[in-house]
Amino acid sequence: MPYDASDSVVQLLDVSKEFMRDKIRIPVLTNTTLHIPKGDFAAIMGPSGSGKSTLLNLAAGLDRPTTGRVIVNGQDLGVLSEAGLSRFRSENLGFIFQMYNLMPVLTAFENVELPLLLAPLNRAQRRQHVEAALRIVSLADRQDHYPRQLSGGQEQRVAIARAIANDPVLLLADEPTGNLDATSAQEVLDLLELLNTQFGTTIIMVTHDPKAARRAKRLLHLEKGTFVQADIEALETSR
């Protein structure tokens, strides 16, 4: 099937993924094909264990598909070595986790600076990037705070700053509001929306929360290893 790679940031081509557990094969994704165009904000919903996280991991090159190809930003991840994948992640991707995953021993500033240490930037340039990222998430005044001194919502905003610090083309968010209260969740979603509309960052967000999914431009529903038809408007009316 011919496809136009130029406007797709993520392409999963006939991807299958199965895990082995106690010598039993567990199929998670079966012959799944997916195109995420540049500038998209896609929400992925689906029951627990349906393979949502697995899908994000494949798109991030953190795991490899059993069969099929994963192409991100024009790069076939299958041809990259481990070191190549690391480098690719550092240059192209931002990751947001449900549990924030900040380094507890580093300050907000130092956490955001982490991915920049892999970029060819000097100290002053890194500082600029970190400060800009923290300003976007409205935490410039908290740069010297450690994660334990921040609320969950603030931690997640620091994590977002870390994810966007080196201007990734693609943001992958795995239940970014899953651990937050309603207000903090709103703030995080506002931020993601801002990044998508103002900065044109492509976002794939896995979520359980219909309210979160509604903020996306597109809804994908993952069930029994493949995507099924989903209607974001239907979500809206069900609220």
Ligand X SMILES: Nc1ncnc2c1ncn2[C@@H]1O[C@H](COP(=O)(O)OP(=O)(O)O)[C@@H](O)[C@H]1O
**Residues at the interface with ligand X (CB under 6 A):** 19, 21, 26, 28, 46, 48-54
3-state helix, strand, coil in the chain (%, to 5): 40, 25, 30
Task: Looking at residues 162 to 181 of the shown chain, list those that interact with other proteins (rule: CB under 8 A).
Answer: 162
Task: Looking at residues 144 to 163 of the shown chain, list those that interact with other proteins (rule: CB under 8 A).
Answer: 162
Q: How far is the CB of 101 from other proteins (least distance, A)?
A: 4
Q: Which two tokens stand for residue 145?
A: 């705070």
Q: How far apart are CA 98 and CA 90, in angstroms?
A: 20
Q: How far is the CB of 48 from ligand X (least distance, A)?
A: 4
List strand residue ranges (DSSP E) for the chain, in order.
Answer: 8-21, 24-37, 41-45, 67-72, 75-76, 93-96, 170-174, 202-206, 218-223, 226-228
SS3 category, 215:
coil
Considering only residues 50, 53, 92, 166, which one is a binding residue for Mg ion as defined by CB under 5 A? 53
Count of residues in contact with other proteins, rule CB under 8 A: 28
Q: How far is the CB of 173 from Mg ion (least distance, A)?
A: 11
Q: How far is the CB of 215 from Mg ion (least distance, A)?
A: 19
Answer whether 198's CB lies under 8 Å from 168's CB.
Answer: no
Question: Footprint of other proteins on this chain (CB under 8 A)?
Answer: 54, 57, 60, 62-63, 82-83, 86-91, 93, 95, 97, 99, 101, 103-106, 110, 114-115, 117-118, 162
